[in-house]
Amino acid sequence: MVILITQSHFILMQYAFSKKIISFNTMKKILFYLVIFSFHLVSCGQSSNNSSNGNDAIANSINADEFEQAIQQPNIQILDVRTAGEFAIGHIKNAMQANYNDESEFTERVKYLDKSKPVYIYCLSGARSNYAMNTLQQMGFTKLYHLVGGINAWRSHNKPLEGMNNEPQISVADYEVLTKKDSMVLVDFGAEWCPPCKKMEPIIQQLLKEKPDLKLLKMDGSSQQTVMQSMNVTALPVFIIYKNGKQVWRKDGEANLPPPLYLL
């Protein structure tokens, strides 16, 4: 529409110039301002805090009070896009973590989120969450909301945060004792904030139901750093099966449980 209006004006100016109604310099000035005005309209039409990709997708920036109220609703997802270290020293309850600055981790973890459900995103100050919101929109997520000002704004409004799990560290020796306690032990290195870990929960529970002699040993990926380092656990989840105290199976990442039947 802007282009059609500009063309119409250009034709009129050509006519006026040919009839000597306006000078050449005046016509140049008019053309210049029309171009600037058209560019301004296009630019304004493409920038907004609340945007849509044309497929009924919603991407909104909301303040701390609005964010707090919104995450009380059922069937929503909360995503912390900071690093695991930042997450450990204070995060919003029920948030899952995926480091936006680590492309591989971010892509791997967000694939476990439900694209049809709202996702409420936050970081430290709001920059990463804004970028993450745009990235998720391009990935097909349809209802996205990011916290303006991030955790800094959340704290300034005295909103509640959950901290690092205070579970005591298990030594490597104690870990070895626990893996020998029963004839068959499934060790689950995971965390509440890890999307693929949560995805695996019902599968693990079904396996335990079918194999009552298989005992589950959960290792918190937020706190058990000593054992994780010893077992070379660098990403979550990790599943290990011990039979009579000896490791017989391991899977890093999402596992297609159950493992081979001969192991059980």
Q: Please indicate whether residue 197 is annotated as part of the active site.
A: yes
Whether the pLDDT of residue 50 is over 60: the answer is: no
Position 156 scores a pLDDT of: 86
Catalytic residue among 187, 197, 214, 219: 197
Whether the pLDDT of residue 42 is over 60: the answer is: no
- Residues 167-176: what's their mean pLDDT? 90
Q: Are 145 and 120 in contact (CB under 8 A)?
A: yes
Position 226 scores a pLDDT of: 87
Question: Of the candidates 123, 149, 111, 130, which has an alpha carbon nearest to the alpha carbon of residue 254?
Answer: 111
- Residues 1-22: what's their mean pLDDT? 51
Catalytic residue among 98, 113, 191, 194: 194
- pLDDT tens profile 200-249: 999 899 889 989 999 999 998 877 878 988 999 877 889 999 999 999 99
- pLDDT tens profile 128-141: 999 999 999 999 99
Position 53 scores a pLDDT of: 47
Q: Please indicate whether residue 123 is annotated as part of the active site.
A: no
Which of the two residues, 219 and 46, has the higher pLDDT score?
A: 219
Ramachandran area for residue 188 (φ above 0: left; ψ -120 to 50: alpha; else beta): beta
Position 40 scores a pLDDT of: 42
Position 26 scores a pLDDT of: 62
- pTM value is 0.60
* Measured CA angle at 66 (ends 65, 69), to 5 deg: 85
